[in-house]
Structure 1
Amino acid sequence: MSNLHPRRWLILVVLCLSTLVLVVDNGVLTVAIPPLTQDLGATAQDIQWIIEGYILVFAGLLLTAGSLSDRYGRRRIMVIGLAIFGIASLLATYASTPEQLIGGRVLMGIGGALVMPSTLSILITVFDDKERRKAMSIWSSVLMVGLIGGPVFGGALIAKFWWGSVFLINVPIVIIAIVAALTLMPESRSAYRKPDYFGALLSMVGLTALVWVIIEAPTKGLGDTTVLIALAAAVVGLTAFVIWELRTDSPMVPLSLFRNRNFSGGSLSLVLVQVANGGLLLALTQYLQLVLDYTPTETGLAMIPMAIAVIITNSFGATLGMKIGNRAMTVAGLLVLSGGFLFFTTLSSDTGFVTVAAALVVFGVGAGLAQPAAVTALMGAVPAEHAGVGSALNDTVQQAGAALGVAILGSVLVTNFGDAMPESTPEPARASITDAIGTAATTGDSGLATAAREAFVSGMSTTFVIGAIGVFAAALLALVVMKDRKADAAVEGETAEPLAAAIH
């Protein structure tokens, strides 16, 4: 315990605050879209780029940002990222055109990419194996609070002020986080390694192209020329990246990490979970707002039972995990999570909030058990010199999984919705529940609105069944690939000293 930093719990507060500002910002944006659209005269394409510009830059830079944090200092890169994020938030706050807001969002994506890998890598360097699980659970709970609280907080700000306030609130939080980081946090970095500029370029090109394909393919189709070009760029870029990283003397990303069963098992399980979660959030938010007629703020408040379940389970799981190990915790949580998806299939067009809340609680318990354990397992396998890029790998696979979930399960939802609509339904109203309800409101056809809600619930149930199967597959994968409790302890014990030694 003598190697542990004496202010590690205060450092955890700073890390949570730094990550919270990113999570809340993405949540509040969802409720800011309608007023900023009207105020700036933004088109549908402008709105798409306001949302996707951030995602593309963030996902494309994660691996490079993780490598930079290992090389130049994790605290330094995090502080730079926070500063960029704060400046970009000011630009977004006072944007007077859609182009200015898109520019601000892109710059925010750069800042977010620099912050995210550094937070998790600093966490694993200041906590040893005895306390890391508890710290990870607290960090995960804060993320859940931000995810749920974002839309609620954003709705309150917009009701009281104007849409720019959802970005302006980032500035004081960023300032506090930067001052606290410089005051409380130790610097940590890996030993000198030759920069891998070519690997960084290939990763940025490949990942950005891949995320763009995932976002655009469902609407434009795989046969679209731009989608095919981007897909080719993604395949060539990422294949070249893997070949280069395996051959270069100083790789940016140590692909040998995937030979570790805990790292590969945890990563692949989290990908499957995030695919399912992406589809869940997409379907559930539409269900609450378009089927049950909740407002965006009420939708955010409806998620509170899940947040409470995650926080309580995280606290309980941190203690239990020390006794039974990461694999058992991950598998148990994933099985509960799969059951939560099946519970969601019982929802109907007139379901009361109690049933929705019960399903969210089951889902929250599963997530609270599984996710911190899986992340602890994979990060416990990362050597100290690669803590930043290891954290970035974790962030990247989860971002890609969530995007895939929205794309794949979103397509399944739309297809099933169209198939479930009556044959007499006019074509525009078959495209989505939003279009159907809009057509019903224009024509005064209450029967069309009822049919649309029933069709959406039918398609949603199919989506949740696929999610349940995906998470169950993740549980089997974790059971087979990840190591048992004794092996976990050995790995954590081996990494504790190097991690502590990395702080200087």
Structure 2
Amino acid sequence: MVLFLSGGFVSSDTTLEQSTWTIRQIWMLTVACCAVALVVAAMAALNTALPDLARDTGATQSQLTWIVDGYTLTLACLLLPAGALGDRYGRRELLMFGLLVFAAGSSIPVFADEPSWIIVSRVISGVGAAFVMPATLSLLTAGFPPAQRARAVGVWSGVAGSGAIAGLVVSGLLLEKWSWHSIFVSLAVVSVLILVVSFTIVTSKDTEATPLDLPGTALIAGSIGLFVLGMIEAPARGWLDPVVLALLVGGIAMAAVFSWVELRTRHPLLDVRLFANRAFGSGAASLTLQFLATFGLFFLIVQYLQLVLDYSPLQSALALMPIAVPVMALSVVAPLLIPRIGLRALTATGVAFLGTGIALLTRLDASSTYAEVCVPLVVAAIGLGLSTTPATAAIVSNAPDSKQGVASAVNDATREIGSAIGVALAGSILAAGYGNHVQPAVDLLPEPAKEPVSGSLAAALHVAEAAGPQGAQLAEFAREAFIKGMDQGALTLAAIMWVSAIVLGFWAPGRQRD
């Protein structure tokens, strides 16, 4: 009997009777997971250090934004070209090159810590991360036989899904004893260590050595870059701002031109016909939606923990740890469920659970206990664990073996695009909801206090603290306004996930038999 996912098939007997991993395979999986954990952790690590960094360097709010987003934007732009180069020149070699660039970029703030140099550091680190991330997954899909590949992808997915939390926790621990420089030092040191051990794993590449599609490379890098930049600017400028609209429309237009060019190129960077494959297309869409919801959830809950429940950055990072356990456990188990249940059931159920977990945020208030906070986090984590590995497996198993670097880059790019959309959407709705609900208090304040109080809860709490005992009522009112804005953001994200679960339930292929 053969079970298959629309375009790729696997023997059920082979799936049930997988052979034991060799020492070499386990070591390759370990190195790949360490590398992907590093680049994912680097996305979130600096969030806990921004207040200290701003105080020590005098960085403006705009510079702080680019210290965080410069890494993400560069990474998203270069993923597909980097994956293609790995297929052509060797995946291990590109992994090592990326680690070297990442280490060099992370080292810059140790010697030059002006805000402009920190931004340069993050951009260079993003270039390195773009070569590392697709190489880690493509090494596994090329280095493991089909019967063992799904389990390896499951472990990789679990590590990639929980890496951001690890970044927050480790950076919080570092800041307990050292300055924010220690985060950059640790990123550089770990990168060098992984680079050294990377010499011990085997490489793989496309034996045909097809030429690099330069027009496609330029178009897709520009498309993703413009779109992600538009999403980054939307919360600050507004969704109808001409610059934001130009960036978003420009990114979509370049994506359309990219598709047109790729259909007429003999050796395309990405064969866009793959998206017509139901498993590949629904897997890519599912990952985008999962990370839209997950990073939207992170954006809301971290601020709630710190500003409403008064957690420290380290406490808030540790509070998110319950997410990692179900994600890791279910990511490992999911490959065993795919041939028995099918992509459709796992994807639709996981996305629906993710939406339900986010909707449960509306049950939190200013007096909620940590146990009450854990409930939505665990429910959302169950959904993420059920749906992430099947989506990744659907992408890599329905792409040619010679193009695993590009397939891995598609997997990574969907995560980055979804993350950018999720933060922008949650941030915009939260800001609008908070502003509307805090307005009655703003109307009663003196003129100098109106703008900061209406701008954010953090600023409102600062004004309330400066006002002494009289500010307690303002702080309480502002927290309630924030919670109402958070509820609006959570319900919007949840509704998107529930509708998406229905769509994916029809789109994704089910369990089929030959």
TM (norm. structure 1) is 0.92
Secondary structure of the corresponding residue to residue 503 of structure 2: helix
Give the CA deviation at 1:83: 0.7
Are 1:212 and 2:238 an aligned pair? no
Distance, in Å, in 1 between the alignment partners of 2:243 and 2:505 is 40
What amino acid sits opposite 2:382 in the alignment? V
Are 1:147 and 2:164 an aligned pair? yes
Are the aligned partners of 1:25 and 1:167 in contact in 2 as well (CA < 8 Å)?
no
Give the CA deviation at 1:305: 1.4
1:411/1:103 Cα in 2 relative to 1: closer, same or farther (>3 Å)?
same
Are the aligned partners of 1:4 and 1:126 in contact in 2 as well (CA < 8 Å)?
no
What amino acid sits opposite 1:463 in the alignment? G
Give the CA deviation at 1:424: 3.8
Are 1:381 and 2:398 an aligned pair? yes
- Answer with 276-285 or 472-481: which moved more: 472-481
Give the corresponding residue for 2:417. 400
Give the corresponding residue for 1:483. 509
Secondary structure of the corresponding residue to residue 108 of structure 2: helix
Distance, in Å, in 1 between the alignment partners of 2:478 and 2:495 is 26
Distance, in Å, in 2 between the alignment partners of 1:314 and 1:289 is 29
Give the CA deviation at 1:239: 2.5
Are the aligned partners of 2:292 and 2:420 in contact in 1 as well (CA < 8 Å)?
yes
Are 1:459 and 2:488 an aligned pair? no
Secondary structure of the corresponding residue to residue 440 of structure 2: coil
- Answer with 326-335 or 19-28: which moved more: 326-335
Secondary structure of the corresponding residue to residue 442 of structure 2: coil
Give the CA deviation at 1:286: 0.6
Segments of 5+ residues of structure 1 without an aligned counterpart are 491-504
Q: Deviations over 1:355-396 (max 9, x none)?
A: 111221111111111111121122211111211111111211
Give the CA deviation at 1:73: 1.4
Secondary structure of the corresponding residue to residue 467 of structure 1: helix
Distance, in Å, in 1 between the alignment partners of 2:60 and 2:370 is 35
Aligned mate of 1:447, from 473, 492, 495: 473
Give the corresponding residue for 2:302. 285
Secondary structure of the corresponding residue to residue 7 of structure 1: helix
Give the corresponding residue for 1:468. 494
Give the corresponding residue for 2:57. 40
Give the CA deviation at 1:309: 2.2
Give the CA deviation at 1:2: 9.7
Are 1:415 and 2:441 an aligned pair? no
Are the aligned partners of 1:74 and 1:118 in contact in 2 as well (CA < 8 Å)?
yes
What amino acid sits opposite 2:145 in the alignment? D
Distance, in Å, in 1 between the alignment partners of 2:281 and 2:356 is 24
Give the CA deviation at 1:242: 1.7
Distance, in Å, in 2 between the alignment partners of 1:30 and 1:197 is 35
Secondary structure of the corresponding residue to residue 230 of structure 1: helix
Give the CA deviation at 1:222: 4.4
Are the aligned partners of 2:291 and 2:415 in contact in 1 as well (CA < 8 Å)?
yes
- Answer with 218-227 or 400-409: which moved more: 218-227
Give the CA deviation at 1:403: 0.6
What amino acid sits opposite 2:477 in the alignment? A
Are the aligned partners of 1:4 and 1:128 in contact in 2 as well (CA < 8 Å)?
no
- Answer with 112-121 or 238-247: which moved more: 238-247
Give the corresponding residue for 2:181. 164
- Answer with 375-384 or 468-477: which moved more: 468-477
1:2/1:283 Cα in 2 relative to 1: closer, same or farther (>3 Å)?
closer
Give the CA deviation at 1:417: 1.3
Are the aligned partners of 1:63 and 1:393 in contact in 2 as well (CA < 8 Å)?
yes
Are the aligned partners of 1:69 and 1:76 in contact in 2 as well (CA < 8 Å)?
yes
Number of aligned pairs?
488
What amino acid sits opposite 1:302 in the alignment? A
Give the corresponding residue for 2:312. 295
Give the corresponding residue for 2:135. 118
Q: Deviations over 1:272-291 (max 9, x none)?
A: 22222222111111100001
Q: Deviations over 1:262-320 (max 9, x none)?
A: 01111112222222222211111110000100111000110111212222333343433
How many percent of aligned residue pairs carry the same amino acid? 34
1:249/1:318 Cα in 2 relative to 1: closer, same or farther (>3 Å)?
closer
Distance, in Å, in 1 between the alignment partners of 2:252 and 2:335 is 39
What amino acid sits opposite 1:335 in the alignment? A
Give the corresponding residue for 1:345. 362
Are the aligned partners of 1:56 and 1:211 in contact in 2 as well (CA < 8 Å)?
yes
What amino acid sits opposite 1:86 in the alignment? A
Aligned mate of 1:66, from 54, 79, 83: 83
Give the CA deviation at 1:6: 6.2
Distance, in Å, in 2 between the alignment partners of 1:316 and 1:11 is 20
Aligned mate of 1:51, from 58, 65, 68: 68
1:91/1:131 Cα in 2 relative to 1: closer, same or farther (>3 Å)?
same
Q: How does 1:97-108 map to 2 (within 5 A)?
A: 97-108=114-125
Are the aligned partners of 1:327 and 1:374 in contact in 2 as well (CA < 8 Å)?
no
1:224/1:416 Cα in 2 relative to 1: closer, same or farther (>3 Å)?
closer
1:349/1:176 Cα in 2 relative to 1: closer, same or farther (>3 Å)?
same
Give the CA deviation at 1:55: 1.6
Segments of 5+ residues of structure 2 without an aligned counterpart are 1-17, 444-449
Distance, in Å, in 1 between the alignment partners of 2:339 and 2:112 is 49
Secondary structure of the corresponding residue to residue 169 of structure 1: helix
Distance, in Å, in 2 between the alignment partners of 1:356 and 1:105 is 33
Distance, in Å, in 2 between the alignment partners of 1:148 and 1:374 is 21
Q: Deviations over 1:30-57 (max 9, x none)?
A: 1122222222222222212211211221
Give the CA deviation at 1:100: 1.4
Distance, in Å, in 2 between the alignment partners of 1:235 and 1:375 is 24
Are the aligned partners of 2:293 and 2:355 in contact in 1 as well (CA < 8 Å)?
no
Give the corresponding residue for 2:446. none
Are the aligned partners of 2:92 and 2:201 in contact in 1 as well (CA < 8 Å)?
no
Give the CA deviation at 1:5: 7.3
Secondary structure of the corresponding residue to residue 310 of structure 2: coil
1:248/1:98 Cα in 2 relative to 1: closer, same or farther (>3 Å)?
same
Give the corresponding residue for 1:496. none
Distance, in Å, in 2 between the alignment partners of 1:422 and 1:207 is 37
- Answer with 396-405 or 186-195: which moved more: 186-195
Are 1:434 and 2:458 an aligned pair? yes
- Answer with 51-60 or 414-423: which moved more: 414-423
TM (norm. structure 2) is 0.90
Distance, in Å, in 2 between the alignment partners of 1:277 and 1:20 is 17
What amino acid sits opposite 2:459 in the alignment? D
Aligned mate of 2:94, from 77, 82, 86: 77
Q: Deviations over 1:324-374 (max 9, x none)?
A: 233222222222222212222211111001111122111111111111112
Give the CA deviation at 1:93: 2.8
Give the corresponding residue for 2:103. 86
Give the CA deviation at 1:3: 13
Are the aligned partners of 1:330 and 1:374 in contact in 2 as well (CA < 8 Å)?
yes
Q: Cα RMSD between the aligned structures?
A: 2.1
Are the aligned partners of 1:437 and 1:449 in contact in 2 as well (CA < 8 Å)?
yes
1:240/1:420 Cα in 2 relative to 1: closer, same or farther (>3 Å)?
same
